[in-house]
Amino acid sequence: MTSSIQPPIIRVQDLVKRYGDFEAVKGISFEVKEGEIFGLLGPNGAGKSTTLEIMETLRTKTSGQVMVGGYSIDTDAAAIKSIIGVQLQASGFYPGLSLLELMDLFNGLYNERADALSLLRLVNLEDKARSRYKSLSGGQKQRFSIATTLINRPRIVFLDEPTTGLDPQARRNLWELIRRIREEGTTIILTTHYMDEAEILCDRVAIIDEGRIIAIDDPSAMIDALLQSGFTRQQAVKAASLEDVFIHLTGHDIRED
Ligand code: ADP
């Protein structure tokens, strides 16, 4: 799928962001390959959203270089906006409008004519097309916001904590959706606090702490490296988790209708 000869679709070099005297991002560098699901992990306040919003051209940097899809954020922000999909927070949607009305609104804003129904079908919300946004469950709202990121047929989709607050079934459903979008060739950059999510979903992750990248690799290589360093868990590891028990007992079906 990705070739080593291809230039990276995103290149961040020595990125610094200061808010007044406080340095939130302290000179980070990384690359994202086309077609990857790339995760930015880290505790609260690590600088994930700041980094994401700078790549999205929504926030200014203090210094460093950021290239997105071959364009510089300094000189080509408009071109970048045309090739990326950005997820709005729930507050960005008029609650009283139906999903079709909201899609129409976004089509107008992007000057696009995306087929709203087929996008709703992709995110499993076709039967909710005429329902109001405010009547959706948490998982449905997240899926709808992902559908709106696809209106301009973006090459890159940015998702900021896409599964926060969802129950295990809805999270799994969203992981499947994110994989489906990637299968169409779209690159996905997401932030998450959930390590199981990153391990299952991401091809590569960068762990950010206090504004610095402290590790970057594919999740399985990171785990192998830790084990090779002699690490063992204090508790005996069972071959299943409580979450496995929960899903086994309650099933994969989503409960939002
Ligand atoms: P994360 O997404 O990893 O939780 P953020 O990028 O939101 O981290 O924030 C990184 C740091 O920068 C935090 O300490 C946060 O308080 C600070 N910060 C974020 N936005 C602003 C702002 N507009 N003004 C001042 N400080 C900010």
The CATH number of whichever domain residue 30 belongs to comes to 3.40.50.300
Q: Kindly provide the residue ranges of all beta strands, DSSP E only, lying in the chain, ordered along the sequence.
A: 10-19, 22-32, 37-41, 63-68, 71-72, 84-86, 156-160, 187-192, 204-209, 212-217
Provide the pLDDT for residue 103: 95
Q: Is 44 in the pocket of ligand 1 (CB under 6 A)?
A: yes
Q: Give domain status of residue 82, yes or no.
A: yes
pLDDT for position 80? 97
d(CA 142, CA 175): 11
Answer whether residue 136 is part of any domain.
Answer: no
Ligand 1 site, residue 72, Cβ cutoff 6 A: no
Q: At 26, which amino acid appears? A: K
Is residue 131 included in any domain, yes or no? no
Task: Give the model confidence (pLDDT) of 98-155 as tens digits.
Answer: 999 999 999 998 888 999 999 999 899 999 999 999 999 988 999 999 999 999 999 9
Residue 90 is predicted with a pLDDT of: 66
Q: How many CB atoms lie within 10 A of CB 30?
A: 18
Q: Which residues of the chain have pLDDT under 50?
A: 2-3
Q: Is residue 134 part of a domain?
A: no
Q: Which of 21, 25, 50 to mutate to test the pocket of ligand 1 (most atoms within 8 A of CB)?
A: 50
Decide if 48 is inside a domain.
yes
pLDDT, residue 74, reads: 97
Residue 65 lies in a domain: yes
- pLDDT at position 105, please? 92
In a domain, 105, yes or no: no
Q: Into how many domains does the chain fold? A: 1
Supply the pLDDT for residue 204.
97
